[in-house]
Amino acid sequence: MDKTAVVHGRSSVAQTDPLFPGYPFDQHLVAGITPIVSGGPLDFRIDRPHGMKGFILNMTVRGTGDVFDGDRSVRCERGDLLLFAPEARHDYGRADGHGEWFHRWVYFRPRGFWSPWLQWPGASRHIGRLHLHGEALRAEFEDLFTRVDQTHRGGRPTSQELAINQLEHLLIRCVEEAPAQATRAIDARVQAACQFIARHLARDLSLEEIAREACLSPSRLAQLFRDQMGVTIVRWREDQRLILAKHLLRSSSTAICTVSSLVGYDDQLYFSRVFRKRVGVSPSEFRRGA
| DSSP state, residue 226 | H
Q: Which of 46/259 has CB closer to ligand FCB?
A: 46
Smallest separation, CB 54 to ligand FCB (Å): 8
Smallest separation, CB 102 to ligand FCB (Å): 10
Q: Which of 17/96 has CB closer to ligand FCB?
A: 17
Q: Which of 66/213 has CB closer to ligand FCB?
A: 66
Strand locations in 10-121 (E): 10-13, 29-37, 46-48, 55-63, 65-68, 73-76, 80-84, 90-94, 100-108
Smallest separation, CB 107 to ligand FCB (Å): 4
Smallest separation, CB 248 to ligand FCB (Å): 33
Cα–Cα distance, 105 to 161 (Å, whole number): 18
Closest residue (Cβ) to ligand FCB?
Answer: 34
Instruction: Pinpoint the alpha helices (H) of 157-232.
Output: 159-177, 188-199, 207-213, 218-229
Q: Which of 105/265 has CB closer to ligand FCB?
A: 105
Cα–Cα distance, 39 to 101 (Å, whole number): 12
Q: Which of 43/266 has CB closer to ligand FCB?
A: 43
Query: Which positions lie near ligand FCB, rule CB under 6 A?
Result: 18-19, 34, 46, 56, 103, 105, 107
Cα–Cα distance, 219 to 190 (Å, whole number): 13
Smallest separation, CB 34 to ligand FCB (Å): 4
Smallest separation, CB 182 to ligand FCB (Å): 22
Cα–Cα distance, 229 to 203 (Å, whole number): 21
Distances (CA, A) of 13 to 2, 6, 54, 81, 206: 9, 9, 24, 33, 59
Q: Which of 105/275 has CB closer to ligand FCB?
A: 105
